[in-house]
Chain A
């Protein structure tokens, strides 16, 4: 999943508006940031075991919870941050094919091989996320242009990725 993860961050912003969107966006992409770091460091990460498996994401969520709680003393918000990190794994199971645990099965619907279905699924998530995001503004003060821009930009990014997948069926991996 690509832009669908942003929807989780936007929904979390609705749940706990005091959390900065930057923190939520970092949280929602934590496994992918770890993946890119491991790739740069040339650490073997077969099938994303060190970045996307259940134990790995649970560890990231625990770290995220601890760091956010220690910085803000807002335990509920820290739980929300941890939940956003966990959501990455759950959402990847919808579109990807991800490891569970060492020696365990791979889970996922593999929608990356079906870009149109992937766009529909991620598009629905984006629409829901932006609808929840809109409600973070006070009634009567919704900046409709910017909310529409958010929806359009996220859908356009997702469309770009899915078109790229259609044009290049096998993208190289680390």
Chain B
């Protein structure tokens, strides 16, 4: 479920239409897309690792 949700967000972020975005907004769109992808790539493995460490301690 978590993976599916994250995947959905990533695809949405990458696919969002920027055709109407002017030059001033394209910077923010690109930055937001990149930051979103970086947050996903950072926190998905981090959260799974936290859970794995907790389970391994039990």
Contact = CB atoms under 8 A, between A and B. Distances in A.
B6 A157 contact: yes
Contacts of B2: 153
Contacts of A25: 41-42, 45-46
Contact of B45 (A21, A39, A40): A21
Interface stretch (A79-87, A110-118, A137-145): A137-145
Interface in B35-58: 35, 37-38, 40-42, 44-46, 48-49, 51-52, 55-56
A157 B10 contact: yes
Interface string B1-40: 0111011001100110010000000111111001101101
Interface in A1-44: 2-3, 5-6, 9-10, 21-22, 25-26, 29, 32-33, 35-36, 39-40, 42
Nearest to A165: B14
Report the interface size class on chain A: 35 or more
Nearest to A5: B41
B30 A150 contact: no
Given A29-B41, A36-B34, A164-B10, A156 B26 contact: no
Contact of A143 (B38, B40, B42, B55): B55
Interface of A: 2-3, 5-6, 9-10, 21-22, 25-26, 29, 32-33, 35-36, 39-40, 42, 133, 137-138, 141-143, 145-147, 149-150, 152-154, 156-157, 159-161, 163-165, 167-168, 171-174
Interface of B: 2-4, 6-7, 10-11, 14-15, 18, 26-31, 34-35, 37-38, 40-42, 44-46, 48-49, 51-52, 55-56
